[in-house]
Copies of this chain bind each other. A is one copy, B any other.
Amino acid sequence: MPFEFEVPETLSKKNLEDGTVFAPKFDAKGLIMAVTTEHGSKDLLMVAYMNKQALSLTLETGIVHYYSRSRQSLWKKGETSGEMQQLIEMRTDCDQDVLLLNVEQTGRGAACHTGQKSCFYRKVRVSEGKAELQKIEGNQIFDPTKVY
C-alpha cells in the first residue's frame, strides 16, 4: 500500500524543523532531491530525484527507486545494470526538502552510469588561476560500453 505523506505547508516552521511528522517538500515538478551515500564507507555515491511514487516504493520495498528526469519515468536503480541499492537508513534535512539515503550498493558496486563507484570521481584543482578537473584513481569498476 503506498505511503501517505504530510503536506509541509500544513506544518508550522517549528514543527517542520523540529517535529516528528515526515512532510517531504516536493518541488513544483513533484520531485525531491536525494543524496545517496554508501553504508560503511560514507562515500557520496550520487545525487538524484524522487517523486512521491519512488519515495513510497523505496520505503515499502527497501530497494531504492528514483525518478529519472531525462526519461520522465520511475527509475528502479539497477534494473538494467544490476547495480541496485538496498536502503539502510533514510534521513531528511531541517526544512525537509532533501533526503539522505544511506545504502548498500549491490552488483559490482558501481553507482554511476560511467561504471565508476561514485559519480564524484573528479576533483577540482586550481592551478595558475585556472580550475580544472583531475580524476581520482581506483574508482572505475566496470566498462560501461560492455554493460549498457
Contacts and interface: CB of A to CB of B under 8 A. Distances in A.
Which interface residue of A37, A90, A136 has the most chain B CB atoms within 10 A? Answer: A90
A75 B5 CA distance: 32
Contacts of A130: 3-4
Contact of A20 (B47, B100, B134): B134
Interface in A1-39: 1, 3-5, 17-22, 33, 35, 37
Interface string A106-141: 000000111010011111101001111111100000
Interface residues of A, number: 48
Contacts of A116: 94
A120 B133 contact: no
A136 to B, nearest CB: 8
Contact of A100 (B4, B98, B120): B120
